[in-house]
Amino acid sequence: MNYIEHVGKYFLMLGQVFKRPQKLSVFKDALFREIEDLGLKSLGIVAFIAFFVGGVIAIQTALNLESPIIPKYLIGFATKRAMILEFAPTFASIILAGKVGSFITSSIGTMRVTEQIDALEVMGINSLNYLVFPKIIAAVFFYPLLVILAMFLGIFGGWLAGLLTGLFHSVDYIDGIQLDFDPFLLQYATIKAIVFAFVIATIPSYHGYYVKGGSLEVGRASTQAVVWTSVVIILLNYFLTQMLLG
């Protein structure tokens, strides 16, 4: 199957996904389960990575600012900008593409090869709507919160790194954070997070839902899903940056 056929099949899949849930109480249960699986269980890894990435950005910026005429508050400013613009929305999404994407593909793929999806269809349930729609809603509403948390933790990580290494003063760093604050950048990061969340929920679902074969194929599909989700995130990141900031 060529790429264009995959793209067409992906959009046809979305057509089945975006239908009214057959039973709201069942949808609600599924939604809470997905919020836990896709969102809450990713909190730890996102927080951990954001905290240390923030610290590394601050240390590297400090070590590269050799000129005495460049003010030290630029360390806080650079850390804030890097975290808000790129590291929190894009870096966190790439991490989630790996962690959550492989989970989605393997869980749906296993359901496919063990005939659980056929069981849903035989019962008269729209399996795509039942399986994928709650994942999209959970991701689109929860990931922006994760990204905002990553921003705060990254900036905090940078501040703590300065405190521990003595490379810059706390006051300079806080001045830098407060300098030239543009609320639109938060909107930009949130828009990116929502778009990437949609990609993270749907591309791995596509790979899992249409898998054929056995456990080996499910494994291969998971790898494919992570690769394609990451590629699409990187491409969309470029286009969104161009559209929103260019």
Partner 1 sequence: MIQVKDLHKSFGDAHILKGIDATFERGKTSLIIGQSGSGKTVFLKSLLGLHSPEQGIISFDGNISKEMNVDQKRQLRQEIGMVFQGSALFDSLTVEENIMFPVKMFTNQPASEMRDRVHTVLKRVNLPDAHQKFPAELSGGMQKRVAIARAIVMNPKYLFCDEPNSGLDPKTAIVIDNLIQEITSEYQITTVINTHDMNSVMEIGEKIIFLQDGLKAWEGSHKEIFKTDNESVVNFVYSSNLFKKVRQSYLNESNS
- Binding site residues, partner 1, CB under 8 A: 22-23, 25-26, 33, 110-111, 114-116, 118-119, 121-125
Closest CB 125 distance from partner 1, rounded Å? 6
For residues 138 and 135, give the distance between their C-alpha atoms in angstroms, rounded to a whole number.
5
Distance, CA of 116 to chain centre: 28
Closest CB 108 distance from partner 1, rounded Å? 12
For residues 232 and 22, give the distance between their C-alpha atoms in angstroms, rounded to a whole number.
31
Nearer to partner 1, 57 or 201 (CB): 201
Closest CB 204 distance from partner 1, rounded Å? 17
CB 92 within 8 A of CB 150: yes
Nearer to partner 1, 22 or 64 (CB): 22
Closest CB 120 distance from partner 1, rounded Å? 9
Nearer to partner 1, 33 or 41 (CB): 33
What's the chain's length in residues? 246
Nearer to partner 1, 134 or 154 (CB): 134
Q: At what angle do helices 3-17 and 183-209 cross, to 10 degrees?
A: 100
CB 175 within 8 A of CB 162: no
Closest CB 131 distance from partner 1, rounded Å? 11
Nearer to partner 1, 115 or 182 (CB): 115
For residues 97 and 76, give the distance between their C-alpha atoms in angstroms, rounded to a whole number.
29
